[in-house]
Amino acid sequence: MQNLKRLKKLMDASLQILDHMIVDPSDAGKLRHIKEMMHEENRKLSNIYNKDTDQRSFSAATSMRQNIDEIIKVVDQFKGNLREDYRLSSQDIEQFEQLSIDEQSQKTEAYHDKIDYKSMVKLKENLNRINDELLRL
């Protein structure tokens, strides 16, 4: 039951990351696709959470792991695109990140691209942790 609680927290945190992201219109479809996949897995998690049978939970967890792996592939690709946007808008990521937050925020496009990229990095970390928790069910 503790695993399910941790899974639920990770899933909620992941959905919150996605809900707060505002991407360029050209990327909106990709973001929407990731959100849809995550919401579907969240529904499955809710079903697991509400069932008592270990066998059904195990079967659903196996299916979820496969689906989370697919989401990770999509997130990886999207993360790569967002990193490239960030690289182009900042001109030099390392140099940009050495600026103070105030200085970064004055460079609106680069700062926005940084937030989008870092959000995808955090989302991927959460997805990996979700898979780890699913393995423990």
3-state DSSP helix/strand/coil % of the chain, to nearest 5? 90, 0, 10
Structural domain of 48: 2-136
- DSSP characters over 45-96: HHHHHT---HHHHHHHHHHHHHHHHHHHHHHHHHHHHHHHHHHHHHS-HHHH
Domain count, the chain: 1
Tens digit of each residue's pLDDT (9 = 90 or more) over 26-73:
899 999 999 999 999 998 888 776 665 555 567 777 889 999 999 999
d(CA 81, CA 117): 9
Each residue's pLDDT tens digit, 3-32: 888 999 999 999 999 999 989 898 999 999
Decide if 21 contacts 31 (C-beta within 8 A). yes
